[in-house]
Amino acid sequence: MRILGIDCGSQTTGYGVIDSDGTRHALVHFGVIQTNAKDEFAQRLLTIGAGIRDVVARFAPEEAAVEDTFVSSNARSALKLTHVRGVALFVLAEAGLTVGEYPPAQVKMALVGNGRAEKEQVQWMVRVLLKLPEPIRQLDASDALAVAICHAARRPMGITR
């Protein structure tokens, strides 16, 4: 099964595509959609949506997974992140994909066995699980691959539509 994972961010949205049978995972592609901080927020959302559409068209995932919004002390940042997630969910639904949504702690638990793991620990496990010669340097892309791996491992329980 080909799975697209997305780690939403208003400046950098990471994506990762894997092929998986649920226990073995292979890297297909990864990257980031970078927005210009000087652009109006609506334009940044448009850039992110177009980028996700392009990834879906190029790599034809069968399912997708998006990380839930992390609620921090900065409500404004959380609200912007929620808008980005909305764009991602819209584009994925528009493409007819089944989408799983996972809280950050569940993604970390699925990969590292610790819901409070640091980004570098997740990055290391992504490298190990995908049998890569070196870690994915872009943390947003590494996190997106972690979301895809989490979905592959938990999809019978985590599907929403």
- Per-residue model confidence (pLDDT) at position 160: 42
Total structural domains in the chain?
1
CATH of the domain at 71: 3.30.420.10
- Per-residue model confidence (pLDDT) at position 90: 98
Query: In this predicted model, what pLDDT tens digit does every residue of 85-136 receive, in sequence order?
Result: 999 999 999 999 999 999 999 999 999 988 888 989 999 999 999 999 999 9
At CA 12, angle to CA 10 and CA 77, rounded to 5? Answer: 30
- Per-residue model confidence (pLDDT) at position 159: 45
CA atoms within 13 A on the CB side of 110: 25
Set 7, 63, 101, 143: catalytic member: 7
| 140 tagged catalytic | yes
- Per-residue model confidence (pLDDT) at position 161: 39
- The two three-digit tokens of residue 9, written as one number: 């961010």
| 143 tagged catalytic | no
* Owning domain of residue 121: 2-160
| 67 tagged catalytic | yes
- The two three-digit tokens of residue 12, written as one number: 């950098």
Comparing 21-25, 80-84, 152-156, the range with the smallest average pLDDT is 152-156
- Per-residue model confidence (pLDDT) at position 156: 62
Set 63, 67, 101, 143: catalytic member: 67
- Per-residue model confidence (pLDDT) at position 72: 63
Set 63, 101, 140, 143: catalytic member: 140
Predicted TM-score of the model (pTM): 0.93
% of the chain residues with pLDDT over 70:
94
What are the residues whose beta carbons fall under 8 Å from the beta carbon of 30, sequence distance 6 or more? 14, 15, 16, 17, 136, 138, 141, 142, 144, 145
